[in-house]
Amino acid sequence: MFKKLAQKLNTQKGRNITAGAAINPINVDFNSRKSVLNVLNLYEKECDIKNFSKLALSNPENNSHEDIMSKLFSTGVPDIFEDDKLVKLADNSQFLRDLGFTD
C-alpha cells in the first residue's frame, strides 16, 4: 500500500520513478511527504482501532473458543490451568536453575 502511495505521489509531480531508482534529495519536497506519512499513520491507527473494537465488542454469547479448548483437552493437550500443572511449573527446579535463580 505504501509503495502504491509513493508511486502515485511521484506521478502527480510529473516524475514516474520506478522501484529502486535513486532520487535527488535536493528535489524532494519533504513537507508534502511528511504529511502523507502522517495521513498513512492515522489511517493505520484507525484500522487498528476498528479491528480491536470488532474483536472486543463481539458477541459475548459466542462460546466457540470453549468448544475448541475442550476438543484440544480431549485429544491430550495438557490444561495448564489445572492446579497441579501450575504447581509443577512454579516448582520447576531445572527452569529456575537455567534462569540463575537457584544453584
For the chain, 103 residues long, give each residue's pLDDT as a single digit of tens. Answer: 667 777 777 666 555 445 556 666 666 666 666 777 788 888 899 999 988 888 778 777 888 888 888 899 899 887 877 877 778 777 778 888 888 887 7
* 44: in domain: yes
* 47: in domain: yes
Q: Return the closest-CA partner of residue 80 out of 68, 67, 71, 90.
A: 90
Q: Please state the pTM of the whole predicted model.
A: 0.31
DSSP state of 76: T
Tell which phi-psi region holds residue 66, choosing left (phi > 0), alpha (psi between -120 and 50) or beta.
Answer: alpha
Q: Are 9 and 33 in contact (CB under 8 A)?
A: yes
* 16: in domain: yes
Domain containing 34: what range?
2-59+77-99
> What domain count does the chain have?
1
Burial of 91 (0-12, 13-18, 19+ CB in 10 A): exposed
pLDDT of residue 23: 62
